[in-house]
Amino acid sequence: MGLESFERKIAAVVESIFAKGSPRGIEPAELGRRLVREIERSSRVGVRSNIAPNMVTVALSPEDLQELRPLRNRVEGELRVLAEETVEAGDYELLGPIVLQLIEDPELKSGTFYIDCDFREEQGFADRWELVFADGSQLKLGLGTHVIGRLAGSAVFVDNPRVSRRHAEIVVEEGRVTVFDSGSTNGTFVNGVKISRPTELNPGDVVTVGTTDLTVRKG
């Protein structure tokens, strides 16, 4: 979605429901910018890459939260997507799924807010991956080897005539995931580049088999 898309969508939601008579009201664009900024500012240095916070709290005044209540879940969802895309764009790691919630702070005046970011580790989260097909459907990948192919019973079944029966394999190990071609007729590509050896994948990478794109995401 990205920040610009977020601003358009969230503005339509928020600006229509916050009080017109408040000193400023909540600025949707500033809400999004502050979220991105706080995630980046709160990130920590990790072994392989920086680690982003996965616990996000957005505090609003009682008046603003009350006015937002009818669409609270929708706004929380849009903010969560923006947080996830910020993590992906910055190539951050996470210790667990992103949890974002709006809360009330009685000490805040209408039109003001703050965002707190923290870390909470979830056991085994680093080993959860998924593939996303072009139609939006998702396939969870646990630890182990997953065959991609046209053969019935393949872990990742792709019904495409340009895909070999046993086309490629994705291997999920502790903390990493790799893909390699299994001698397919038309080859396997990662981000448009044909691979000839096992290739490590990162969130957001696109694996192409035949004419089918599979986007890699942390699950």
Domain borders along the chain are 2-118, 129-218
Q: Say whether 159 sits in a helix, a strand or coil.
A: coil
- What's residue 69's pLDDT? 81
67/211: higher pLDDT? 211
pTM: 0.58
Give the mean pLDDT of 63-81: 84
CATH of domain 129-218: 2.60.200.20
Q: Could you tell me the pLDDT band of residue 22, with boundaries at 50, 70 and 90?
A: very low
155/8: higher pLDDT? 155
Give the mean pLDDT of 64-82: 84
- What's residue 180's pLDDT? 97
Q: Which residue has the tokens 């009201």?
A: 25
- What's residue 17's pLDDT? 47
Helix ranges restricted to H, the chain: 2-14, 28-42, 62-68, 72-89
Q: Could you tell me the pLDDT band of residue 103, with boundaries at 50, 70 and 90?
A: very high
2-118 has which fold?
hypothetical protein PF0899 fold (3.30.2320)
Instruction: Report percent pLDDT > 90 for the chain.
Output: 50
Taking CA 108 as the corner, what is the angle to CA 105 and CA 110, rounded to the nearest 5 degrees?
115
Listed range (4-13, 33-42, 136-145) with the worst mean pLDDT: 4-13
Residue 187 CB burial class (10 angstroms; 0-12, 13-18, ≥19): middle
Q: Could you tell me the pLDDT band of residue 181, with boundaries at 50, 70 and 90?
A: very high
